[in-house]
Structure 1
Amino acid sequence: MSTLRFFAIKETLNRKSVKIKEEKRRSEIFAENVYNTKKMRQTLTSDAFLSLTNAIEKGSQIDRAIADQIASAMKDWALSKGVTHYTHWFQPLTGATAEKHDAFFETIENNEAIEKFGGSQLVQQEPDASSFPNGGIRNTFEARGYTAWDPTSPAFIYGTTLCIPTVFVAYTGEALDYKTPLLRALQAVDNAAVAICKYFDKNVKKVNASLGWEQEYFLIDSALVSSRPDIQLTGRTLLGHASAKGQQLDDHYFGTIPNRAMSYMRDLENECMLLGIPVKTRHNEVAPNQFELAPIYEEANLAVDHNALLMDVMDKIARRHNFKVLFHEKPFKGINGSGKHNNWSLSTDTGVNLLSPGKTPMSNLQFLTFFINTIKAVNDNEELLRAAIASASNDYRLGANEAPPAIISVFIGEQLTSVLNELENVTSGKLSPQEKTDLKLNVVGKIPEILLDNTDRNRTSPFAFTGNKFEFRAVGSKANCANPMTLLNSIVAKQLIDFKIEVDELIAKKDLKKDEAIFNILREYIKKSKNILFEGNGYGEAWEKEAKKRGLSNNKSTPEALKVKVSKKALSLYSDLGVMNTAEVEARYEVELEEYIMRIQIEGRVLGDLARNHIVPTAVKYQNILIENVKGLKEIYEKDFKKVSKAQLNLIEEISKHIESVNNLVNDMTEARKKSNQITALEEKAKAYCDVVKPFLENIRYHCDKLELLVDDELWPLTKYRELLFTT
């Protein structure tokens, strides 16, 4: 065993759990470090409070004088809690969060000092726009960009810093972050959904999209991670033979949470309570050292912010417990990867979940309207949904035996399938009295108020209805939820707008009553959306063939999947809704292609280094030991030398073959990267990295993993799977 690996494992075994004592109930400390409505009411004047709540609820602008009052109150509150700095906290296209801290401290006349924070500092700041991914929107010499306060997401304190959630836009106005398009998409779906709700309840004035994410992750001892350059630099193991025991026994799933992991979780949850992140659920996941946490559902913008913040907090708390959190979708070969299921629904300001059936037929009709329109939106935009969850890391997970396939389909269960079939078979045009009765009693009225347990779950479905919400299961664990949520809310908004136009036209042209017009349009939508509905096994080869017959896409790689993002249909969707203009969409496409290329490039470089500087030298060293052994055997057993040394000679030969293969493949991979790097067109370059460079990773890994089984464990330089997954 190598010295580094030995000390890494020894340090891990010496770890002690950090005991967290919870002094107060969680309800008492929840949002203690958040400048929420309660704090606003306590610290603001009535005018300032009214202005701020109107901005949050109605999107109205805040007067600069009022902004000064809010900033002053926010500063005083923060100072009372020991805060020294403030930052505009935003989410650039890196996928991580960003912050630049400024002190409240200012000097004035006579060399005196004060704490200062005004409305101008609260509302707007100017970070460097050219140093973040921007897809060509900003040149290197055009550095100006702005962060602008988002009052709908409350400021919070982390450590000694007041964090103010903001959007990030270029000097020319284009969005350079994930939040800005999300806010626009949420506004679009709000407007479109309210218009539909008016058919059923004139009192509805606002519809909020809600999101409940489920965050899966691995916890690996930090000392062991230090002995694995691949995990440190890429977030996953680029080589490593499977442990004899993995997840075959299903004994980790929902099992007793290990003590060290529990200490980490309690510390994390305590921090989340202070930050107003309503985490509720924790449990062991399927793979060893894999876990999950999930919150209570929130308004989508706030939920996205909370998930981005959570991943930062998880990382920091992990260091305190000598852990490394792995968010990569597939950090270990041969065992389950991690996802971030996005549970989505729409709710009115009157307290109605639009994807939950009510007690009356008319409530059920409202449910069916939003339910069927969502299915239609997915059916018409399945390629865009696939593109919204595409990344180099998620490609390793999608289609594996624990994640949905790259084919987007919708699972709704037997009962709702039966309901849609009945509705589809009603005759067109005006409904007869008998048909109206049948619809209300047999189809619409028979949907129970709660559908949570009326159908089994389908873990292979990328987009499943689960009782009162849709679960977008294909989202990767590393992803920023804003990307899929922007797309989902946009396509639903577009679909609802089209639906209203069709219903109103049908009422006007055929003199139909509202209910009859709605039924007629919904029935046609059911017919047009049948291809997207699938109840079976999404992992099976039969589904791939069936999906192809149905005309569904199966874009297995990120470069292939991303192309649809800049299609005429996608550009029109975003521009018509005001979510993104053409420059913003094309910039994101370029950023995602560049990131894909760089991820594969980094993995290739790291694996080449590991293979050449760690694996091959170790294999040669062990081979030399075997050669010395064979020489000794020849001296002792001269006559029976071949018989006595047969196993050693075969082993020497086998090691030689793998060493030769590793060296040749690393050389070939390096040349493939050089050729790919000469390609200037991003699409072609990404395709080259995907089709030519990426396959080398698996081929090199194969031979390195074979050497791991052949070389003496005492010599092997890298911590093995059995130690990474079972030594905590």
Structure 2
Amino acid sequence: MYNNNISENFGSMVFNEAVMRERLPKDIYKSLKKSIAEGTPLELDVANVVASVMKDWAIEKGATHFTHWFQPMTGITAEKHDSFLAPDGTGRAITEFSGKSLVKGEPDASSFPSGGLRSTFEARGYTAWDPTSYAFIKDNTLYIPTAFCSYSGEALDKKTPLLRSMHALNEQALRILRLFGLNDVKRVVAMAGPEQEYFLIDMNMYLKRPDLMHCGRTLFGARPPKGQELEDHYFRPIKQRVLKFMRELDEELWKLGVYAKTEHNEVAPSQHEIAPIYAEANVATDQNQLTMELMKTIGAKHGLACLLHEKPFAGINGSGKHVNWSLATDTGINLLDPGDTPFENALFLLFLVAVIKAVDDYQDLLRVSVASAGNDHRLGANEAPPAIVSIFLGDELTGILNAIENDALYECKGKALMEIGAPVLPRFPKDSTDRNRTSPFAFTGNKFELRMLGSAFSIAGPLIVLNTIVAESLRQFADELENSSDFKANLNKLIKRVIREHKRIIFNGNGYDGSWVKEAEARGLSNLKTTPDALPAFVSPKSIELFTRHRVFTEHEIRSRYEILLENYSKTINIEALTMIDMVNKMVIPAVFDYQNELAELAIRKKSISPELSTLPEEKLMERLSKLSEYLTEKLERLTEQTIAVKEIKDNLEMAKAYREKVCAAMSELRMIVDELELIVSSKHWRIPSYSEILNSVYE
């Protein structure tokens, strides 16, 4: 039953601040809070008390098991469940949960992607409690958010380097704030808010499409008569079946402390979006992973399949994930808020140009952070930002930066009032910047929005890069300004110089326009169109120096992740190619032959009735089908040969390039034939649900 008491419902399954303050002894609570604030290890006696209280609370809520919940480099989460039961020596059982069990776990690390960090026989791995992300209860299990590392201490997950990057950013930001006399600030936190797009389709349709089940996207599918051409799905009233799903999703997320706020229909048919309120970056990452899991499980309860692939349907908008990012102090300052007079706000301007410099210096790393086989279908496809990284600032901020660079006076226009034409409606302040949907990285008033992520992405990767590159800009600024004899004069010089040296990355125009590609090239910006083009930047000397300097990754960890990303790209395309081959052999060819046989039998029957009856329509259609069948067999053989040949390549980068250039090309050629056949073969024989059937299935 849906619970309308939102405030009572919210966080009811979370071991949050309020629960800890109420249930923990005061000295234990203070010790835990100090460990969290200072990042110091928790004493075992403190951990034992916390564990005991957490266990009692969880059992009261119906929990019978606990799990260390972590994020390996698969891109999804992992968990191993243990019950609270322990033998009491009399044949009965007691409940038990120690501080050691809370703080540390030992899952098998041999079967997770490691990129060479671990051998198969080196099985030991550790999970370590992340007390900055609250424990919660789901499915009668206490979930404890943890980091995951190897026996030798290398990070095997996405959370550990994210926490390291947040620490690096905090460290360098505090150096800057001290120069401005803000000594009361103890901590600067990266904040994030991911807007999650997804598709919902009927589960019965999903189960009839092996490509959706195995690959997350359709490998075949002729364009439907009606797609998104009329632009009539965006923000339209939500259908009841979808609304019921959304309401249950909201309720479950609220129980788990996720501030699910906004939901609406997106541009494509059957596409939707959910967006939460901001949280600290590591918490936002945990909550987004949790959101994606719940979307799938709750969808299934409603007979719906939730698709998180970046491009489930060709010719229709794919799904992205837009991560809003800002910097906040523990004293409540948003360091990216311009205030009423941004041209006078030196602190804001310094942090703004730090971001601009970071993105310009490391545009290739930002591109790497969103690289995948699935996202290659979206980026630059006039539905998502291009693969060229640039920053949108809007006219006002760009004007301010131009004035600073040229030592010109900036005439403050204030906040203009917009007349919206209807006298019964009030006038309202016009935002200082418009929104630019085509920009990869846009300033949106008091935060930046990174719009390049694919829907299925963990937001950890892009946040790691963003935090680290901004930390590097701030480090360089602090090194220069801390030794300054005239802080104000040198601050002005620094801001002016950074604007002049990095303004090429600022672009307020249409990123979909083909002329931008030429202009970006003239500016010297990179255009890494595909994942194999982008990934080598991850292991460049410049990138290795950046990550190791700030202790976010070791060089070994960087190279392992590079290998994992390459392997994942190749494996993804290999799975798609094998699925395509299987579907053609088992579903497409039988359908084509069955239809040809029906046409032949019809022609024979007509002639048997009267030799004068014309069989020309059947003959022409059979001739066309026969020719397409010949092409189909030829393209199928080509894809099979290419898929086998690519596996012989030993170097991972060369293999990834071969999958892109040879296997993907062969898949495209085969798809063209199959999609044409779909338009001809009778629906009685075609065994694969069409786009029209799938995209309208939720509304039946």
TM-score by length of 1: 0.92
Q: Contact conserved, 2:67 with 2:81, CA < 8 A, in 1?
A: yes
CA distance in 2, matches of 1:446, 1:347: 25
Do the aligned partners of 1:658 and 1:707 also contact (CA within 8 Å) in 2? Answer: yes
Asked if the contact 2:75–2:457 (Cα under 8 Å) also holds between the matched residues in 1, the reply is yes
Tell me if structure 2 keeps the 8 A contact 1:285–1:292: yes
Cα shift readout 1:462-500 (whole Å, capped 9, x = no counterpart): 111111100000011100000000000000000100111
User: % of aligned pairs identical?
Assistant: 47
1:452 Cα offset (Å): 7.8
Q: Helix, strand or coil for the counterpart of 2:679?
A: helix
Displacement, 1:359? 4.6
The structural deviation recorded for 1:96 is 0.7
Q: Root-mean-square deviation (CA), in Å? A: 1.7
Partner of 2:23: 43
**Partner SS, residue 526 of structure 1:** helix
3-state SS of paired residue (1:460): coil
Secondary structure at the aligned position of 1:176 is classed as coil
Question: 2:343 touches 2:400 (CA, 8 Å); kept in 1?
Answer: no
Q: Please say if 1:704 is aligned against 2:677.
A: no
Deviation at 1:646, TM superposition (A): 3.0
- Of 119, 131, 138, 1:158 maps to 138
For 1:522 and 1:659, the matched residues in 2 are separated by 65
Aligned to 2:113: 133
* Structure 2 equivalent of residue 8 of structure 1: none
Shift of 1:447: 9.0
Alignment pair present for 1:527 and 2:500: yes
SS of residue paired to 1:91: coil
Contact 1:452–1:468, Cα closer than 8 Å, also in 2: no
Aligned counterpart, 1:238: 219
What runs of 5+ residues in structure 1 fail to find an aligned partner? 1-19, 427-434
User: For residues 339 and 198 of structure 2, what CA distance do their matches in structure 1 show?
Assistant: 36
| TM-score, length-scaled by structure 2 | 0.96
Structure 1 partner of 2:393: 412
Cα shift at 1:451: 9.7
Correspondence list, 1:214-293, <5 A: 214-293=195-274
In structure 2, distance between residues paired with 1:692 and 1:718: 26
Q: Within 5 Å, give how 1:485-500 maps onto structure 2.
A: 485-500=463-478
Alpha-carbon distance in 2 for matches of 1:350, 1:45: 27
State the aligned residue count: 686
- Whether the aligned pair in 2 keeps the contact of 1:230 and 1:236 (CA below 8 Å) is yes
Partner residue in 2 for 1:322: 303
Letter in 2 for 1:125: G
* Alpha-carbon separation, structure 2, partners of 1:715 and 1:461: 45
Residue 424 of structure 1: CA displacement? 0.3
The question of 1:333 aligning with 2:314 is answered yes
1:654 matched to 2:634: no
Which residue identity lines up with residue 378 of structure 1 in the other structure? V
1:349 deviates by: 1.3
Q: In structure 2, what is the Cα distance between the partners aligned to 1:452 and 1:519?
A: 29
Give the structure 2 partner of residue 431 of structure 1.
none
Measured against aligned partners, the alpha-carbon deviations of 1:621-652 in whole angstroms (never above 9, x if no partner) come to 1011112223344455646x7xx333322211
User: Which runs of structure 2 are paired with 1:21-420 in the superposition (5 Å)?
Assistant: 21-22=2-3, 24-200=4-180, 201-359=182-340, 364-420=345-401
> Residue in 2 aligned with 1:613?
586
Query: Is the CA contact 1:357–1:363 (under 8 Å) kept in the aligned structure 2?
Result: no
Q: Which ranges of structure 2 fall in alignment gaps of 5 or more residues? A: 417-427
Which of 676, 693, 702 aligns to 2:663? It is: 693
- CA deviations on 1:270-318 (whole Å, 9 max, x unpaired) are 0001000000000000011100000010111100000011111111111
Q: How far apart are the structure 2 equivalents of 1:412 and 1:112?
A: 66
* Residue 419 of structure 2: aligned partner: none
Report the AA paired with residue 271 of structure 2.
Q
- Matched residues in 2 for 1:215 and 1:676: separation? 35
Q: Deviations over 1:500-531 (max 9, x none)?
A: 122234x24xxx3x222111111111111121
Q: CA deviation at 1:724?
A: 0.5
Counterpart AA for 1:551:
G
In structure 1, the partner of 2:597 is 624
2-side partners of 1:447 and 1:547: how far apart?
A: 32
1:726 aligned partner? 696
Which residue in 2 is equivalent to 1:432?
none
Contact 2:343-2:349 within 8 A present in 1 as well: no
Alignment match of 1:536 (pick from 493, 509, 515): 509
Shift of 1:602: 0.4
Q: Residue 594 of structure 1 aligns with which residue?
A: 567
Please give the secondary structure, in 2, of the residue aligned with 1:135: coil
Counterpart residue type for residue 601 of structure 1: N
* Distance in 1 separating the partners of 2:627 and 2:152: 58
Aligned residue for 1:684? 654
Structure 1: distance between partners of 2:414 and 2:357: 22
State the SS of the aligned residue for 1:399: coil
Task: Note the alpha carbon deviations across 1:670-702, whole angstroms, 9 max, x for none.
Answer: 111111101111111111111111112211111
CA–CA distance in 2 between the matches of 1:362 and 1:529?
18
Kept in 2, the 8 Å contact 1:451–1:467? The answer is no
Q: Does 1:579 align with 2:552?
A: yes
The worse-fitting range, judged by mean Cα deviation, of 405-414 and 108-117 is: 108-117
Secondary structure, aligned partner of 2:179: coil
State the AA in 1 paired with 2:640.
T
Deviation at 1:358, TM superposition (A): 2.6
Q: What's the CA shift for 1:156?
A: 0.3
Give me the whole-angstrom Cα distance separating, in 1, the residues matched to 2:430 and 2:148: 39
The letter of the residue matching 2:562 is Y
Correspondence for 1:567 among 537, 540, 562: 540
Aligned-residue offset at 1:133: 0.3
Q: What residue in structure 2 maps to residue 484 of structure 1?
A: 462
C-alpha distance in structure 2 between counterparts of 1:139 and 1:451, whole Å: 60
Q: Distance in 2 between matches of 1:597 and 1:155?
A: 36
Residue 503 (structure 1) aligned with residue 476 (structure 2): no
Residue matched to 2:424:
none
Q: Secondary structure at the match of 1:198?
A: helix
SS at match of 1:282: strand
Q: Kindly indicate whether the alpha-carbon contact (under 8 Å) linking 1:214 and 1:340 is maintained by their aligned counterparts in 2.
A: yes
**SS of corresponding position for 1:473:** strand
**Deviation of 1:446 (Å):** 6.5
Q: Confirm or deny that 1:468 pairs with 2:442.
A: no
Cα distance in 2, alignment partners of residues 119 and 707 from structure 1:
63
Offset of residue 147 of structure 1: 0.3
1:585-626 deviation per Cα after TM superposition (whole angstroms, max 9, x unaligned): 111111111111110000000011111111111111101111
- Between stretches 392-401 and 259-268, larger displacement belongs to 392-401
Instruction: Identify the residue that residue 16 of structure 1 maps to in structure 2.
Output: none
Query: Which letter does structure 1 place at the counterpart of 2:572?
Result: R
**Is 1:425 matched with 2:406?**
yes
**Whole-Å Cα distance in 2 between the matches of residues 714 and 110 of structure 1?**
67
**What amino acid is the match of 1:188?**
A
SS of 1:212's partner is strand
1:716 aligns with 2:694: no
Whole-Å separation in 1 of the counterparts to 2:476 and 2:73 = 31
Alpha-carbon separation, structure 1, partners of 2:76 and 2:504: 37
Q: 8 Å contact 1:145–1:171 — kept in the other structure?
A: yes
Please tell me whether the aligned partners of residues 185 and 489 of structure 1 are also in contact (alpha carbons under 8 angstroms).
yes
Paired residue secondary structure (1:475): strand
State the 1:361 CA deviation: 6.7
Number of the residue aligned with 2:420: none
Deviation at 1:654, TM superposition (A): 1.4
Whole-angstrom CA distance in 2 between matches of 1:314 and 1:252: 20
**1:593–1:577: structure 2 CA closer, same or farther, 3 Å change rule?**
same
- Once the two structures are overlaid, the 10-residue window that deviates more, 661-670 or 716-725, is 661-670
Instruction: Name the SS for the 1:554 alignment partner.
Output: coil
